[in-house]
Amino acid sequence: MNMLHRKVLVALASVTIAMNAFAGMPKRLSSDLERDKASKGPEIVELAEISTGMKVLDLLGGAGYYSEIIAAKVGKSGKVLLHNNKAYMPYVEKGLNERFANNRLSTVKRFDRELEELALKPKSLDAIFFVLGYHDIYHTADGWKVDRSHLLDQIATGLKSGGKLVVIDHAAKAGSGIESSQDLHRIDKEYVVDELSQLGFKVVHDSNVLHNPKDDHTISPFKPEMRRKTDRFVLVFIKE
Percent of the chain with pLDDT over 90: 85
Other CB atoms within 10 Å distance of the CB of residue 141 = 9
Mean pLDDT of 70-95: 97
Residue 56: its pLDDT value, please? 99
Using CA atoms, how far residue 182 sits from 65, 126, 134, 222, in Å, is 25, 31, 12, 13
- Residue of 44, 126, 6, 142 lying closest to 87 (CA atoms): 142
> What letter would DSSP give residue 171?
B
Residue 7: its pLDDT value, please? 46
Map out the domains of the chain with their CATH numbers.
3-239 (3.40.50.150)
Summary count for the chain: helices (H), strands (E): 7, 7
Query: Is residue 147's pLDDT more than 70?
Result: yes
Mean pLDDT of 58-65: 98
Residue 8: its pLDDT value, please? 43
pLDDT tens profile 118-129:
999 999 999 999
Residue 143: its pLDDT value, please? 84
CA distance 49 to 141: 36
Strand pairing class (232-239; 159-170): antiparallel
Other CB atoms within 10 Å distance of the CB of residue 137 = 20
Please report how many Cα atoms fall inside a 13 Å half-sphere around the Cα of residue 24, on the Cβ side: 9
